[in-house]
């Protein structure tokens, strides 16, 4: 199994990458976003790490 990591300082960029991966056929439960900015994630539609 391969794992890819995308690193960015911009949560909007990471949200866009997640949506692009989903539209490419990768299921949402296989995509996770980890951030130190929990408050900033509240306004984004992303699959967060629990």
Predicted confidence at residue 50, as pLDDT, reads 74
Question: What is the C-alpha to C-alpha distance for residues 19 and 27, in angstroms, rounded to an integer?
Answer: 10
Q: Which residues of the chain have pLDDT under 70?
A: none
Rg over CA atoms, the chain: 11
Predicted confidence at residue 30, as pLDDT, reads 92
Question: What is the C-alpha to C-alpha distance for residues 17 and 28, in angstroms, rounded to an integer?
Answer: 12
Total domain count, the chain: 1
Predicted confidence at residue 12, as pLDDT, reads 92
Are the C-beta atoms of residues 15 and 46 closer than 8 Å to each other? yes
Torsion angle of the four alpha carbons 24, 29, 30, 31, in this order, in degrees rounded to the nearest 10: 80
The residue segments making up the domain with residue 28 are 1-50
């Amino acid at each position: 199994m391969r794992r890819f990591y995308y690193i960015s300082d911009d949560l909007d960029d990471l949200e866009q990458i997640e949506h692009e991966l989903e539209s490419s056929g990768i299921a949402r439960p296989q995509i996770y976003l980890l951030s130190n900015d929990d408050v900033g994630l509240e306004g984004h539609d992303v699959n967060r790490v629990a």
